[in-house]
Amino acid sequence: MSHDTSTTSEGALLVISAHAGDFVWRAGGAIALAAERGQRAKVLCLSFGERGESARAWRDGLRLDEIKELRRTEATNAAAALGAEIEFLDAGDYPLLETQELVDRVVRVYREVDPAVVLTHTLTDPYNGDHPAAARMALQARVLAQAVGYDAPGEPLGAPPVFFFEPHQPEQCDFKPNVLMDITSVFDKKRKAMECLAAQQHMWDYYTDLAKRRGVQLKRNAGPNLGLAHGTMGEAYVRLYPQTTDVLA
């Protein structure tokens, strides 16, 4: 397996997600690995997922403000477990509305963080319209942030690569992974972060199983001679823009 050891360790990882919990299930391994390498890792939650991803809290009779606070606390703990910063834009969910004002706020985050890598949702998800909405805003803001003429503080952004993290039903979202990431060494951190999301206990095992599954595929694609220990854990991604490199591996 090719282990890129690029100089991106100096650049930041920016994760843009629709709801408060998405980054844990879908990108927890990548975040923990970045943090371990010393990269700044920042999670930007456009909403708390207070309406669409908090069924149990509603059934338990909590109020909207209580649910938001609950989700904030959980997500903050999970980010800490992974070694990441977290910021909430509280833009509302179900639906997460695409507004130019919200895009502008995301542009400002790009300019401030100056990420070397960006992670976000897929552009297709027939089960959850907030996910593609977040992705479209993440991509639009990235392009706007690149323009010297865009009126926001900071320097124009470079061209950080963008990776889509894995949706809940990947095939239905046309998610065909072209990157399989080895997260074995940090899986315990990802599990701990998952356990911060107390209301979604059934997901802990679901996403542990998924990590195993992606790990098996990783081994299959990396080849049997790579000395990957049994029990490899993985995360799957789709790279949006072409990889730029000077070695094929």
Residues in region 135-154 near a copy of itself by CB under 8 A: 139-140, 143-144, 147-151
- The CA distance from 72 to 83, in Å, is 16
- The CA distance from 203 to 197, in Å, is 9
- Closer Cβ to a copy of itself, 10 or 198, answer by number: 10
Q: Assess 168 for contact with a copy of itself (CB under 8 A).
A: yes
- Binding residue for a copy of itself (CB under 8 A) from 119, 194, 196, 197? 119
- Binding residue for a copy of itself (CB under 8 A) from 30, 79, 91, 106? 30
| Ramachandran class of 47: left when φ > 0, alpha when ψ lies in -120 to 50, beta otherwise | beta
Write out the binding residues for a copy of itself, residues 179-238 only, by CB under 8 A: 179-183, 185, 206, 209-210, 212-213, 216-218, 220-226, 236-237
Residue 90 CA from chain centroid, whole number? 17
Q: Assess 103 for contact with a copy of itself (CB under 8 A).
A: yes
| Min CB(5)–a copy of itself separation in Å | 5
- Binding residue for a copy of itself (CB under 8 A) from 61, 65, 229, 242? 242
| Min CB(75)–a copy of itself separation in Å | 17
- The CA distance from 197 to 149, in Å, is 41
Q: Assess 112 for contact with a copy of itself (CB under 8 A).
A: no
Type of residue found at 189: K
The DSSP bridge pattern shows strands 12-17 and 115-120 to be: parallel
Q: In this chain, which stretch among 16-24, 29-37, 81-89, 192-200 interacts with a copy of itself, using CB under 8 A?
A: 29-37
The DSSP bridge pattern shows strands 115-120 and 234-239 to be: unpaired
- The CA distance from 129 to 24, in Å, is 19
**Cα torsion 152, 155, 159, 160: sign:** negative
Site map 59..98 versus a copy of itself, x via CB under 8 A: x-------x--------------------------xx-x-
Q: How far is CA 135 from CA 10, 68, 107, 123, 167, in A?
A: 25, 22, 13, 6, 12
Q: Assess 240 for contact with a copy of itself (CB under 8 A).
A: yes
| Min CB(179)–a copy of itself separation in Å | 5
- Closer Cβ to a copy of itself, 134 or 144, answer by number: 144
- The CA distance from 42 to 163, in Å, is 15
